[in-house]
Structure 1
Amino acid sequence: MFDKQQRKLKRSARLISVLSKYGFKDLLARMNGGNKEEIPANSDEVVSKGTVYERIRLVLEELGPTFVKLGQSFSNREDLLPPELLQELQKLQDKVETVEMNVEEILENEFSMSVKDHFADIQKQPLATASIAQVYKATLIDATEVILKIRKSDVQSVIEDDLLLIKDLEKLVSSYSEIGEKLNLKQAISTFEKSLLEEVSLINEKENILQFRRNFKNSKETYVPKVYEEFSNNNVLCMEFIDGIKVTDTASLLQYDIDPVNISETGLRLFVSQILDYGFFHADPHAGNILVKKDGKVVFIDFGAVGKIPPNDKEVLENLIVSFVAKNPHKIVRYLKKMAISYEIPDERRFENDVEDILNFVHSSSLKEINAQVIINKMKDVLKDNRLHMPDYFYLLFKGISLIEGVGRTINPDLDVVKSLHPYTKKIFTKKISPKNIVKTGMDRMLMFTDSVDEIPKELRSVLQKLDENKFTVSSEIKNIEKTNQLIKSSIINLILAMILGANIIATAIVFTSESGPRIGELSLVAVLGFIFSVFLVIVILLRVTRK
């Protein structure tokens, strides 16, 4: 505990030093009650050139990986930060130095084994170096080529210390200014902490790869590298080496008779499938993270950062996409509100008009005038203007779509993201009218109705008790009581008919999926009769309602 506090104090001193170096001494003084004298002098030359936003970027880069990743995570949050700062945050780059590692010794310590019994060769120089880990190429004893991703030894403690410091800064900002609460900084920092700790865990990355392998095990368009779990833990990840072509290397693609246009469409289709079929998608699909095998299969690599869409939100997202393709601004607004964490819409009508303007722009523009990034920027502006705070995965979606489109248009300038959604609208609609979904929806509605009915006896008991104790008073005059009684009876009959109709639809859907019993062509006779009876009940209910 004491050691952790010592490390935190050391990082705090470093933060103060760097802020002071880049001309933020006044800010430090305000946080220190206006007292500049107590702020330690900086031995480095003060950097006062450049805009305040440029200097913020330089501060983050000098403070290291955690702060760089913090800036990168906020670089697409137009709902929180001014555009000038966002432009600077998008330029953030890790200043990464290669660390000396004894890979064989690390493997022997991590897995209590003799490396020579399992590995024929391990290259001394890393293939790649990142802020969290270094990547080495190796060969197993059976001649299989693999990749060893080895986490840097001090990365966990540095990130944990920095996160404590960042949370302290958030509290400080929130206590001295309303901006923290207005921007919901506490939640944003909490989301960042969760995603960063997931990214730094190689066990988590291993599980992500295994999930992608399960999702796309039968795909003919993509391949997910194999994981060697016996050589993988929180500090080491061993996976299959992919001898692939960089996705933007069109000359090499053509050399192997691979059509770049087809690859661009396949990559986009796969990314949309990750989102809409599985709700589990690669959160950083830039060109360096996409390879193409010589058989034409697209390979996504580096699964440290992924987006996860909760099942209920995935269904709302599907409805949102269908409404977008159907050009229905009213429903788009409805589903955006359903997905939002919170909202304070000043003018509902203006919000709907803003969405309609985007739809008109999309459907009236030519392919060369429009791209996903333009649509996304317009949508972000609308969300910001109408004060909708969306879940974190929503912004990861925006980022992912922009990246995958950018990669695709590098090799195929005519790539159309909007067009790629059309097959999914048909798929979503087919799914919604499938017997299985009708049964599920019907059961959900029936359970909701049952819960409501369960409350009726309690309410009746309460009324009867008040009547028995002479505490029940009627404050309004009831006229035409006979007419009122008839209306109640009629409503109850309609409710019963509706319940029978609902139950019949569910039963019919179940029978539709059955292979047994008499049939008319390919359809079950019982299901056909059930459908006819359902139509009859609908007509009866409509006639009863219209007579009133």
Structure 2
Amino acid sequence: MLDTGSITNSREAEILEVVFRNGWGYMRGLLVGAKPGEPEVPPPEVLRNIFVQLGPVFVKFGQLLSTRPDLLSPSYIECLSHLQSKVPAVDAVTIEAFIRQNSPVPVEENFSHINYTAIAAGSIGQTHRATLRNGRDVAIKVRRPGIEVQVEQDIALILRIAGLMNSTQFGERYGVLDLAEEFSNALRAELDFTTEAAYTDQLRQNLAQSHWFNPKELMVPEILWELTTPKLMTMEWLQGKPLLAATLLGRPDVDRERKAITTLLFRAFFHQFFIDGFFHADPHPGNIFYLDDGRLAILDCGMVGNLDPRTRTTLTEMVLAIVSADAQRCTQLALQIAEPTETVNLVKVEADIRRLLQRYANVSLASLSTAEAFNALLQIVSRNNLRWPANIGLFAKSVANLEGVARQFNPAVNVVEEVQPLMTDIFQRQLFGDNPLQLLLRTGLEFRNLSLESPRQFAFLLNRLTTETLRLNLNIQGIDDLRQSIDSAANRRTFGTVVSGLIVGAAILSTGQQTPQLQILSEVFFVVASLLGFWLLVGIIRSGG
């Protein structure tokens, strides 16, 4: 825990100053040692400004939060999705020394020229153009000198704050500490450019073959592994402009060209989502280039996601259920992916989802935002004590960014129209796989094993039944409370019977032949019955029943 007297580190003092200046009272309280209460998040613009002022690591953290529509409302997601680190490029002299120091071989052996002035700068690295000795143009991505020190300082602080928040109801419900650890691992991996290079290579290989689009129309830069290290990544140079900055004027049919590019974009990403399960998680406008030769290029594979086959199948059905406005099926599918954090009211979940789908029932398919509908579904499920895994947040972010770029580039795009032709093929692949014969053989083998094991298991079950050694272990939620209620009711009934017996006994004694002894016994019965009856009445009133 931090306190103002113990803050000696200049970085922590800088963070405190930024938080004070922007008036975020909750975080200020945490930093000065106040007891953590339920989080109070500042307005979206204030939160974005705080992240920008705190520097590259917190910008990255804000970008990660933008992938979690289950945690934040659409206004925050929208604001943080456009979060970019405004950091100046490292000067040419420092970068030249850094490249020479970290190059696997002397620079002159491989390069005829390197432009040490950056053409683009980001929070973790900056990009330089260079030419190999064979005349091939390449791009060198260089890790910012000294960035790893600041990363470790900021990660330690984020983990400390997450640890404090973890004791709150919000922290437990949304797994704040797990989110911080996930971010820490992802950021440390991003510092190692060989990881990004491997992601780039994998995406390039995955998209090299597809019957949904022509792979020759789509580029992912080739990695030059012999010139790549954890601090330097060298890849082929792709000449072009960001897609939204490209102009198609002068082409024979601009509208048809825009339609073709939009279709290519959707098919390339849905191939990643539902065929490969490995996808580029940050397709913002700066990462999709329109090359001078008319091809598209996907750049910057620093943020990727993975979807296992079971999740891909569930998401495919969920897309169909959303379009079909099937609230019951949506609820069932959500429960297959999300994990409960507390008791879940399934009736309320289904009712909330039904209201959501009814909201989109009258929206035309041309104007339907599938990303908006899916994000709203994520938030509804989260509000009902269910937690989505992190890869679903990355999927939602990727779909939202993809749809946003497509609508900016081609306002006439119909998302459902683009996706619908692919759904039949997706279902067919998920049912039969890429190799139906192999699937048939595997299914036959599983049935064979089942046929061999079933008689043995059935005989074992019959043996347990006949020898009376079979025990069933049932765990019914809330059964203990129900048992206690039944026991309490039974005890009160017994107690009431005893009181009634005492009263009847006293009445019988009082109506018979009176003797001093019987008179005293009758009065004792009445007194005891009155006291016990009063005690029973007080107990019932106190318990509320």
Q: 1:324 to 1:156 in 2, by over 3 A?
A: same
Counterpart contact for 2:96–2:116, Cα < 8 Å: no
**RMSD, aligned α-carbons:** 3.4
Match of 1:57 among 48, 59, 65: 48
Cα deviation digits, residues 186-225 of structure 1 (max 9, x gap) = 1221222232223332111100111012112232331221
Counterpart contact for 1:345–1:388, Cα < 8 Å: no
Q: 1:208 to 1:76 in 2, by over 3 A?
A: closer
Counterpart contact for 2:199–2:301, Cα < 8 Å: yes
Separation in 2 of the partners of 1:18 and 1:133? 24
Matching of residues 222-301 of structure 1 within 5 Å: 222-249=218-245, 251-252=247-248, 254-255=250-251, 259-301=257-299
2:139 aligned with 1:147: yes
Separation in 1 of the partners of 2:196 and 2:406? 25
Q: CA deviation at 1:415?
A: 1.2
Secondary structure at 1:206 match in 2: helix
Q: AA paired with 2:160? A: D
Secondary structure at 2:219 match in 1: coil
- In structure 2, the residue matched to 1:193 is 184
Counterpart contact for 1:135–1:150, Cα < 8 Å: yes
Separation in 2 of the partners of 1:136 and 1:33? 44
2:411 aligned with 1:413: yes
Bigger Rg over Cα: 2
Q: CA deviation at 1:25?
A: 6.4
Separation in 2 of the partners of 1:325 and 1:367? 9
Q: CA deviation at 1:248?
A: 2.0
Secondary structure at 1:220 match in 2: helix
- In structure 1, the residue matched to 2:394 is 396
- In structure 1, the residue matched to 2:148 is 156
- In structure 2, the residue matched to 1:13 is 13
Counterpart contact for 1:221–1:297, Cα < 8 Å: yes
Total equivalences in the alignment: 449
Worse-superposed segment, 207-216 or 448-457: 448-457
Structure 2: stretches of 5+ with no match in the other structure:
1-5, 36-40, 210-214, 472-545
Q: 1:361 to 1:79 in 2, by over 3 A?
A: same
Q: 1:453 to 1:338 in 2, by over 3 A?
A: farther
Worse-superposed segment, 186-195 or 380-389: 380-389
Q: 1:201 to 1:359 in 2, by over 3 A?
A: same
Q: CA deviation at 1:300?
A: 0.3
Separation in 2 of the partners of 1:109 and 1:7? 35
2:70 aligned with 1:79: yes
Cα deviation digits, residues 418-459 of structure 1 (max 9, x gap) = 222322321133231444434445545665776776666766
What TM-score does the superposition give when structure 2 sets the normalisation length?
Answer: 0.73
Q: AA paired with 1:366? A: S
Secondary structure at 1:307 match in 2: strand
Q: 1:352 to 1:453 in 2, by over 3 A?
A: farther
Secondary structure at 1:191 match in 2: helix
Q: AA paired with 2:272? A: Q
Secondary structure at 1:248 match in 2: helix
Separation in 2 of the partners of 1:351 and 1:26? 31
Counterpart contact for 2:200–2:301, Cα < 8 Å: yes
Cα deviation digits, residues 310-347 of structure 1 (max 9, x gap) = 23322332333344455544333222211113365743
Counterpart contact for 1:261–1:411, Cα < 8 Å: no
- In structure 1, the residue matched to 2:85 is 94
Matching of residues 126-525 of structure 1 within 5 Å: 126-175=118-167, 177-218=168-209, 219-249=215-245, 251-252=247-248, 254-255=250-251, 259-325=257-323, 328-342=326-340, 344=342, 346-360=344-358, 362=360, 364-431=362-429, 432-433=431-432, 434-441=436-443, 443=445
Separation in 2 of the partners of 1:245 and 1:212? 21
Q: 1:18 to 1:103 in 2, by over 3 A?
A: closer
Separation in 1 of the partners of 2:76 and 2:407? 27
Separation in 1 of the partners of 2:12 and 2:197? 33
Q: 1:298 to 1:57 in 2, by over 3 A?
A: closer
Worse-superposed segment, 248-257 or 291-300: 248-257
What TM-score does the superposition give when structure 1 sets the normalisation length?
Answer: 0.72
Q: AA paired with 1:306? A: V
Separation in 2 of the partners of 1:290 and 1:319? 29
Q: 1:421 to 1:342 in 2, by over 3 A?
A: farther
Q: 1:23 to 1:406 in 2, by over 3 A?
A: closer
- In structure 2, the residue matched to 1:496 is none
User: Identity percentage over the alignment?
Assistant: 26
Structure 1: stretches of 5+ with no match in the other structure:
1-5, 36-49, 474-548
RCO (CA 8 Å, sep 6+): is it higher in 1 or 2?
2
